[in-house]
Structure 1
């Protein structure tokens, strides 16, 4: 593997961004690290709805297979409970595994053109999606790795379609099962490519096909048994099916946000690839057949078509497509375009990979807030949900807001608690926040409360703190926090970056 100086620089930038405290989306913690920390360290924290026994909508198997060795090494052998070490080890694992698997997969997906393959890899390693999203602990990041490996096996079968690939079919069956149990969206990415492989390969190799199906069935049954045992359920837990049943309900999806059907193609895809969107359509007639009939492009169209049927559409759902898009971009010969591509990705890499919501993680890696000590009542407001696993606290209690009959309330709140209590107010209004603080204060005038909030809502916080009956002291502040959710053109203070921690006490 020979890398140019520019490629080494791009990879180095990616690794540097990978170990920044940015926080892109709550699911990067709550669908992986939150659960793993509780399994390996026995701490208390947030139980996401997917992992509640009532729902059973996420499989533990992909988490254990991918993260298990790292967590076992750090928790059981080295006895490290520092959340920053845990977090950045996981992010480095993601970054390095993606770089390696992408490089290996491209040699099979683009076998006949070394120049195109090398150029595609350059586009991959200069993408901010690689630097930020693929280095974070999303289930989409694992989905990308499994998808690359699966399309690589498809490519091998099509390259030499007269050969029997028995072992490859078994490996392919394991990959497909792992992909489905990791995210129920995985079939959307392989639907059209698998039809081509079935038509051009498996129709002539029925033994290989039966071996593939048998492997999927056996592997699925093993995964179901493992999940059922970990959940402690008296009935079989089929996580992908439970997840699908949840997501076909518009009422359920409305709790996570509903989007127009065109969001993926008109909003999310342009955000992912920026100027690359100009090259996602063929420009010449002789390109049309090769453009539409290649496995990478079939995967792109298959995913966008199927995922657009669901009214909940987040940008990260399309991140597994970026390596395939880079294969298409590799055919662009314009040096000006590549310079624009690099500038776009550097800008997005700094915004998303370095500063986005980074104050939350930055604060929770400070010794005064985690591990081997009791905390008081911590109230988080107008921020992403705090990754409660980073407290590394085995006595922690967590409460958060929920909407009941269109009224926002805090679930199971206990105003009599004095310590090891985290309340996530999310984006609740000023009234609920003020009432929450005062309900704790009036129950015990000596109680101390710690309030966490972004600088973008400082003016609103001051409406609470300026009350003469509250003493407040800022105990921590970082400018390294970019809040993109609360901009208000009528209040320029909302554009101020930063995150603050204030200790409150009744005067």
Structure 2
């Protein structure tokens, strides 16, 4: 009977292992597929304006928005990593696109490519997280299938890690650093254990030959004291230049890298200090490389000055230091939003990691409870992998909670240690055994409701899947999802319009529009005509006015001013123009109602050109417009009424594009009037 139970247990375990592994492969493939579909959802403006917008605009000489972070006076964003990850691959793609255009008449350089290609690079980079997870699990004999499954099925990996956020790069660098530190820890512990064992056998040896053999074995042990020093230091420098917040993420990892082996006869405080010194020296090459690259890009340093050695401290720029100086000023951070100190704990952690986020907070409270009750035997050992991962979660979490501006994406690097520590709880529950010493009725009730595996294991896994699927759909395909189709629409308009026509676009209640997706050659630089070999400057013919969440009367006032400007500038010169308004479809009724209220005073006529579905703006959420219905209605009319209400509600999940013209007469009529008047003269 026992043998039969054991065989059944092994069979179930093997079946679950295969199931988890195949499910992980499904989500890993899905991560790549979602890049090429592509995801039209727009998570946050920094997704584009801190990386792709600048790199793509610079490389292909397109019209683009250069945000304040890249101001040459005080740049706060390093360009080096973005240059390596985006600008260099763009050069290879441009080379391929040249031949595709010449031999097969296929144009690769368009809005779809500008969106998908950088995301594909970030997607490839995201698999560093998977490799690091697998590496640590193999080193410490942990179940890697369930952890890889939880990692790959997280919406953070499916959405955030494939987007061009600096936080996604921070996640990959943090995971790689954790893997290196964990490898160094287990290597040091293994070698120290072998060394102390051989030294003990050497002391107890009774013959000279045995002592010589023990001495040779001890000397043959590999070096471990300064393992991966250059690599660990370089990753830390790259992480800090990518985002200076990497300091709080990397600090506990570097501390554990220096602390490993402490407390034994072999490792002393002298070794700790030597490791710290060597770490600082090893960081210098990467530090110099990043500073020089940034200094060249922001024009602080030139090749001529470098050749003539006419250098001073003013020829170099340190973007992390500028970033820290900027954020130390409370007035600057207040411009981006002030949040309560508890937002990371109570909002952002559950939003990003749902079930595992709550499990993490509960587990930390449990450890704190044991510490306060002096149950030190139940706490993780100081130099264990559990202690490392716990520090990698809560040191950055507490540190970032002190900053008054808190966004969920700031906590992306916490995904790796959270999954490594707590992913098995999705299957086995929060706590397999009753964790408290005494049998207390209240504690037993809490344990039965929240912690025991029979009550919480399977529901946790189902909740994990449901939350991640819902968030992936919302942020990947619904949230601000009409903006990219809008840019594709204007890309077509700009390619098909006449050279003399000018296009003006007004946006409201949507995120900033990345101009590089419209694929307009820049009017700021000289372009090369490859056929004639001559350089030329292109006149500006596209203008965008972004008004955020401006209320409707003020928005219509702005549109009226722009329309008057266009009428005075273009119509009198017999030029054509197009004025468009893009806003969520949920605001269409409000706009039309406001136009009817103002009447002839606005002199504005709007015509709906297109609605891009789906699109959800949290600034203007869709809502039901309840209309009165007769109480004596029949069943058919009631069904018709309900379907009409539902259809009107569904229609609001879109981004509406209107063409704006003067209400008195159209632009063509005015041009015709001007021509006729000239003929009479």
TM-score (norm 2): 0.67
Whether 2:535 is the aligned partner of 1:475: answer no
Partner of 2:170: 143
Aligned ranges 1:240-389 → 2 under 5 Å: 240-280=320-360, 281-282=362-363, 288-289=379-380, 293-332=386-425, 333=428, 334-366=457-489, 367-369=491-493, 376-389=503-516
Cα 1:506–1:358 shift into 2, 3 Å: same
d(CA) in 2 for partners of 1:15, 1:449: 38
Equivalent residue for 1:37, pick from 44, 56, 70? 56
Cα deviations by residue, 1:412-456 (Å, 9 ceiling, x for unpaired): xxxxx9931111111222233222211122234344311111112
Equivalent residue for 2:293, pick from 204, 214, 226? 226
Cα 1:472–1:395 shift into 2, 3 Å: farther
Contact 1:129 1:272 in 2 (8 A): yes
Task: Give the structure with higher Rg (CA).
Answer: 2
Contact 1:369 1:391 in 2 (8 A): no
d(CA) in 1 for partners of 2:171, 2:357: 20
3-state SS of paired residue (1:365) = helix
Partner of 1:486: 620
d(CA) in 1 for partners of 2:348, 2:405: 12
3-state SS of paired residue (2:51) = helix
Cα deviations by residue, 1:275-329 (Å, 9 ceiling, x for unpaired): 2233213358665315995322211111101111110000110011112211122
Using the TM superposition, name which of 485-494 and 325-334 deviates more. 485-494
Whether 2:122 is the aligned partner of 1:94: answer yes
3-state SS of paired residue (2:380) = helix
Cα 1:287–1:472 shift into 2, 3 Å: farther
Whether 2:564 is the aligned partner of 1:434: answer no
Partner of 1:455: 585
Cα deviations by residue, 1:357-412 (Å, 9 ceiling, x for unpaired): 11001221334256686750111111001112212223469xxxxxxxxxxxxxxx
Whether 2:62 is the aligned partner of 1:63: answer no
Equivalent residue for 2:233, pick from 166, 173, 180? 173
d(CA) in 1 for partners of 2:323, 2:117: 29
Using the TM superposition, name which of 270-279 and 241-250 deviates more. 270-279
Cα 1:340–1:114 shift into 2, 3 Å: farther
Contact 2:612 2:654 in 1 (8 A): yes
Aligned length: 487
d(CA) in 2 for partners of 1:50, 1:158: 38
CA displacement at 1:241 relative to structure 2: 0.6
Q: Pick the structure with more helix per residue.
A: 2
Cα 1:388–1:485 shift into 2, 3 Å: same
Cα deviations by residue, 1:11-35 (Å, 9 ceiling, x for unpaired): 2333344421110000000000011
Partner of 2:134: 107
Whether 2:281 is the aligned partner of 1:214: answer yes
Equivalent residue for 1:158, pick from 185, 190, 200? 185
Highest RCO, 1 vs 2 (Cα 8 Å, sep ≥ 6): 1
3-state SS of paired residue (2:410) = helix
Cα 1:439–1:241 shift into 2, 3 Å: same
Partner of 2:71: 52
Cα 1:454–1:293 shift into 2, 3 Å: same
d(CA) in 2 for partners of 1:442, 1:392: 28
Contact 2:230 2:279 in 1 (8 A): yes
3-state SS of paired residue (2:610) = strand
Contact 2:85 2:121 in 1 (8 A): no
Cα deviations by residue, 1:249-289 (Å, 9 ceiling, x for unpaired): 11101111110011111110010111223321335866531
d(CA) in 2 for partners of 1:25, 1:136: 10
Partner of 1:408: none
d(CA) in 1 for partners of 2:225, 2:657: 59
Partner of 1:237: 317
Partner of 2:565: 443
Partner of 1:423: 545
Cα 1:431–1:271 shift into 2, 3 Å: same
3-state SS of paired residue (1:195) = helix
Contact 1:371 1:391 in 2 (8 A): no
TM-score (norm 1): 0.88
d(CA) in 2 for partners of 1:452, 1:368: 16
CA displacement at 1:96 relative to structure 2: 3.0
Using the TM superposition, name which of 480-489 and 154-163 deviates more. 480-489
Cα deviations by residue, 1:68-96 (Å, 9 ceiling, x for unpaired): 33212223442442121121122122223
Structure 2 unaligned regions, length at least 5:
1-17, 99-107, 192-222, 262-266, 302-313, 371-376, 429-456, 525-538, 572-576, 627-647, 664-681
Cα 1:72–1:151 shift into 2, 3 Å: same
Cα 1:151–1:370 shift into 2, 3 Å: farther
Cα 1:441–1:216 shift into 2, 3 Å: same
Cα 1:105–1:287 shift into 2, 3 Å: farther
CA displacement at 1:470 relative to structure 2: 2.4
3-state SS of paired residue (2:606) = strand
Contact 1:380 1:451 in 2 (8 A): yes
d(CA) in 2 for partners of 1:243, 1:108: 34
d(CA) in 2 for partners of 1:212, 1:38: 37
d(CA) in 1 for partners of 2:477, 2:622: 23
CA displacement at 1:166 relative to structure 2: 5.3
d(CA) in 2 for partners of 1:146, 1:20: 24
Cα deviations by residue, 1:71-128 (Å, 9 ceiling, x for unpaired): 1222344244212112112212222321x21222113433445552221110011111
Whether 2:520 is the aligned partner of 1:393: answer yes
Partner of 1:404: none
CA displacement at 1:205 relative to structure 2: 6.5
Give the RMSD, CA atoms, in angstroms.
Answer: 2.8
Contact 2:134 2:148 in 1 (8 A): no
